[in-house]
Amino acid sequence: MLQPLKVLEQLKARLREAVAQLPLDRDAGHASVILELPHGLSHAPDIPGPRFLFAHSHRGDLRAGYGIAGEWRAEGPERLEVLRAKARAVTADWQHLDPDETGFSGFGMLGLAASPAPSQPGDDDLPNAIFWLPELGLASHGGQAALVLTTALPSTLDALLTRWEPLLDRVVPLLEVPAQDPLTPAHLDPGDSTPDQDAWRDLVLSALDEIEQDRVEKLVLWRRLRLQGHRRFDLIRLNAALAYLFPSCQVVNVRLHGASFVAATPERLFTQRRDRVEADALAGTACRAEDADRDAEITRDLQHCEKNLREQRVVADAVSEALTHCCSQVEPPDGPRIMQLNNAQHLWSVIRGQLHPGVDVFRLADLLHPTPATNGQPRQRAHDWLRAHEPLERGWYTGTAGIVEPDLTGELWVLLRCARIDDRVADLFAGAGIVAGSDPIAEWQETGHKLAAMSTALQFA
């Protein structure tokens, strides 16, 4: 294997050759250079500044972005259509140079808050909706990896090398640093839960009354738990802990300013590959048990629990119905089966469809987000009730984020098992679906199991 210094020298030499071939004098558009890395990546470094990460341990996929080559924001009911127009203009005039024939390409990130309604974000918070092209990207899959450098046009060779070579100096040596071992578990001081258990009980009972009156079929309530660490949370170690504890989940880490939004989500909103789409319907939750016999018993109970099966059907039916608006054919749900995580297990179905021509990630996100798994059913009535009754704004919790390819296909994930992390303070978020038959105490306990996913990982960060 090449030594880190040798890798850096070779990348710089190839970069200089490639930049000289870019159409830098074009009046508009973007250009990307893709350079092969000597091996696949299991983690991505954390350097100051804007950054995002999407990593899935089981699949061996990683995408990370640093800096901003292009950024477009929107809010309100038309936010996805606004961003779609921007993205179409960008990708229509996006030049790619792949001298190593890696097969990788430039990529962007799409991220949305739970609600399109404008809010009053703080300086560290993420915008309501963003389409973001990173200046430096890392892509890894199947043991292969590439580094992607992207610029807006016009530019000059000297200007690009002045920016990009120091970026390589910062990032490339860190790619050879082994993943950091978890720290000794640290105690976390619990703060307040919002709502507290009494207010939660009242909220669940109000939701059940709404359901009993046949105004809604399902409502998804949530709570925030604040934890205080005794040391600054290390995001690299946190990502590694989440990947180890939840290898079948997508680890997400997004930062524009000071605070970071982190998730280890089991729920994919959809994957689009050309004219095919797959979407998850994840609803109905039970805990896990250390004893194998007891764990198997809990699984059997979940598979036959009418309340949980009804909750899952609501989501699967809504996803299937949404896909009929953009598909020539929608297959029946595949499931429900069981998705088992370390701390919980869920009923899970996959819905597949053949897309109409011209459908892209923005159209799919508009149709599918939010699903009844995170909002309720019917969608608008549930959304309106939650906006009126929830004690806090959700921000990006139960929003969606993921990678957008140059052809505007890609994959988005529902932002669950989340935390907003700032220095030693972590605000954790988790929710529960309320349907007829829900019990306030059981739903509170369910949110506790879900909060444990992030709180356990934070102990090792």
Identify the domain boundary among 118, 146, 175.
Answer: 175
Say whether 411 sits in a helix, a strand or coil: strand
Number of domains observed in the structure of the chain: 2
Say whether 292 sits in a helix, a strand or coil: helix
∠ Cα 108 112 117 (to 5°): 145
Q: Are residue 220 and residue 153 in the same domain, yes or no?
A: no
- What are the tokens at 88? 């179409």
* 187, part of any domain: no
Give the residue ranges of DSSP H helices in 154-234: 157-175, 197-212
Position of tokens 């082994």? 178
Residue pair 30/90 in contact (Cβ under 8 Å)? The answer is yes
Q: Are residue 214 and residue 91 in the same domain, yes or no?
A: no
Q: Give me the CATH number covering residue 166.
A: 3.60.120.10
Position of tokens 């909002």? 375
Cα separation, 189 vs 226, in Å, equals: 9
Q: What amino acid is encoded at 214 in this protein? A: D
Q: Are residue 244 and residue 158 in the same domain, yes or no?
A: no
Identify the domain boundary among 142, 175, 208.
Answer: 175
Q: Are residue 112 and residue 258 in the same domain, yes or no?
A: no
Q: Are residue 131 and residue 266 in the same domain, yes or no?
A: no
pLDDT of residue 209: 96
CA 246 remoteness from chain centre: 14
Q: Are residue 275 and residue 152 in the same domain, yes or no?
A: no
424: left (phi over 0), alpha (psi -120 to 50) or beta: alpha
Structural domain span for residue 350? 194-459
Cα separation, 208 vs 226, in Å, equals: 27
Cα separation, 115 vs 106, in Å, equals: 28
* 110, part of any domain: yes
In the chain, helix, strand, coil percent, each to 5?
30, 35, 35
For 253, phi then psi, to 5°, come to: -145, 115
pLDDT of residue 4: 60
pLDDT of residue 120: 65
Identify the domain boundary among 175, 203, 220.
Answer: 175
pLDDT of residue 414: 96
For residue 445, give Cα distances in angstroms to 57, 174, 448.
28, 41, 5
Cα separation, 272 vs 410, in Å, equals: 5
Q: Are residue 155 and residue 126 in the same domain, yes or no?
A: yes
181 DSSP 8-state letter:
P
Say whether 67 sits in a helix, a strand or coil: coil
- What are the tokens at 430? 């988790």
* 125, part of any domain: yes
Q: Are residue 212 and residue 262 in the same domain, yes or no?
A: yes
Cα separation, 369 vs 383, in Å, equals: 11
- What are the tokens at 49? 């500044």
* 59, part of any domain: yes
Please give the model's pTM, rounded to 2 decimal places: 0.93
Q: Are residue 202 and residue 167 in the same domain, yes or no?
A: no
Q: Are residue 241 and residue 389 in the same domain, yes or no?
A: yes
Cα separation, 413 vs 399, in Å, equals: 8
For 433, phi then psi, to 5°, come to: -85, 130
* 207, part of any domain: yes
Q: Are residue 368 and residue 431 in the same domain, yes or no?
A: yes
* 39, part of any domain: yes
pLDDT digits (tens, 9 = 90+) for 58-90: 999 999 999 999 999 999 999 999 999 999 999
Q: Are residue 88 and residue 201 in the same domain, yes or no?
A: no
**What are the residue numbers of the active site?**
218, 267
- What are the tokens at 107? 């990529």
* 186, part of any domain: no
pLDDT of residue 1: 43
Say whether 100 sits in a helix, a strand or coil: coil
Residue pair 131/87 in contact (Cβ under 8 Å)? The answer is yes
Name residues of the chain where pLDDT drops below 50.
1, 123
Position of tokens 């605070």? 259
* 180, part of any domain: no
The total of other beta-carbon atoms located within 10 Å of residue 160's CB is: 19
